[in-house]
Amino acid sequence: MSILVTGAAGFIGYHVSLALLDRGERVIGFDDLNAYYEVPLKEARLAGLMRRPGFSFHRLDIADAGAVAAALDSDPGVDRVIHLAAQPGVRHSLINPYAYTRSNVEGHVVLLEACRRLPRLVHCVYASSSSVYGANAKLPFSVNDRTDHPVSLYGATKKAMEVISHAYAETWKLPLTGLRFFTVYGPWGRPDMAPMLFTRKILAGEPIAVFNHGRMRRDFTYIDDIVAGVVACLDRPPASDDGTAPHRLYNLGNHRCEELMDFIGQLEAALGVAAVLEFQPMQPGDVPATYADIEASTRDLGFRPRVAIDAGVPRFVAWYRDYYGERRCGRQP
């Protein structure tokens, strides 16, 4: 297989690329290494991939149709696509809305147009998000629930990606699957997300902002479970022999609705340091709870998350100490 992974220098893209290289696939990575969060972390992930045989890389903006076409011409033979490049983060969409429309909406259309021109395309899997469920009160969130009331621009662009994908699957019979990820954490994670933000502040003795006065619940999903789900999905393109558009949607979550305060407790235990809590009101664009119904993902993809937070948090903390400890001593990973 020759698999294009967009967002390869990102958290999930890095781990997915490694898993594919481990099973002997050829991986072509796209990423623009933008400065939304610390670029050295993206570069360190990319350096790890560049050392591996079978990996090639193009630094480009996925919303640049000419650059995407040229890269695919120079690195031909792609037969599968995992599209993860996006502008993530709910809170940042209040500050820089155009980054979301450019990367998530325009970038997605550019990728779908590129897919349409790949003569050997078997399947394109793309990242959606639990944010499409907005503030739905019915838990767990099922792929059959309504998703037309997002509460953030980020969620709205992810919903836009899903409906645009459906149109492409219908019109061009492109085999497409959208995966709605639920709060992914683990080694090499994102510095803008709670596990990393909290860890940094707890170790520095600074207060951590706990929104909605601590009354938050999240379905925290360990990165290895997400990777297993993405790879299983890649191997199962949707059939179009029944006349319907070959487009499917699945939730990838841990199927546990954890109290945020319990997650913080796990972090404190793994770090051996008590957190200083600063309770704050709910943030605009945030939702009080997420919880994935994974019945369809388990049935169709064999998705079975294995890592609960009491196992995943210590693994994340061990990586954090190792990575940032080495950085402070000036050593390379």
Ligand X SMILES: NC(=O)c1ccc[n+]([C@@H]2O[C@H](COP(=O)([O-])OP(=O)(O)OC[C@H]3O[C@@H](n4cnc5c(N)ncnc54)[C@H](O)[C@@H]3O)[C@@H](O)[C@H]2O)c1
Residues engaged in binding ligand X (CB under 6 A): 7, 9-13, 30-34, 42, 61-63, 84-88, 103, 107, 127, 129, 181, 183-184, 190
CA dist 124 → 168, 248, 328 (Å): 11, 11, 40
Minimum distance of ligand X from residue 295's CB (angstroms): 19
Which is closer to ligand X, CB of 85 or CB of 125? 85
SS3 270: helix
b/e burial code for range 297-313 (CB count within 10 A of at least 16 → b): bbeebebebebebeebb
Amino acid at 224: D
Q: Measured from the CB atom, is 241 or 263 closer to ligand X? A: 263
Q: Which amino acid is at 58?
A: H
First-to-last alpha carbon distance for the chain, in angstroms, is 29
Structure tokens at 74: 């120079």
Q: Which residues pair with 162 in a beta bridge?
A: none
List 14, 100, 154, 250, catalytic entry: 154
- Rounded to the nearest whole angstrom, what is the least distance from the CB of residue 8 to ligand X in the complex? 7
CB 65, min distance to ligand X, A? 12
For the beta carbon of residue 73, count every other beta carbon within 10 angstroms. Answer: 9
**Cβ distance to ligand X smaller for residue 2 or 157:** 157
- Spatial distance between the Cα atoms of 28 and 18, rounded to a whole number of angstroms: 12
Query: Smallest distance, Å, CB 68 to ligand X?
Result: 9
For the bound state, the minimum distance from the C-beta of residue 177 to ligand X, rounded and expressed in Å, comes to: 14
b (16+ CB within 10 A) / e for 215-234: ebbbbbbbbbbbbbbbbbbb
Q: Tell me which amino acid residue 214 is.
A: G
H-run or E-run covering 300: helix 295-301
Our CB check for ligand X shows the closer of 2 and 103 to be 103
Of 38 and 206, the one with the shorter C-beta distance to ligand X is 38
Of 25, 179, 153, whose CA–CA distance to 89 is shortest?
153
Q: Is 154 a catalytic residue?
A: yes
Residue nearest to ligand X (CB): 10
Shortest gap between Cβ of 188 and ligand X (angstroms)?
9
Q: Distance between alpha carbon 290 and the CA centroid of its chain, in Å?
A: 15
Q: What is the sign of the dihedral through the CA atoms of 77, 80, 83 and 85?
A: negative
- Are 197 and 208 a contacting pair, CB within 8 Å? yes
Query: Which of 174/184 has CB closer to ligand X?
Result: 184
Q: Which residues are catalytic?
A: 154
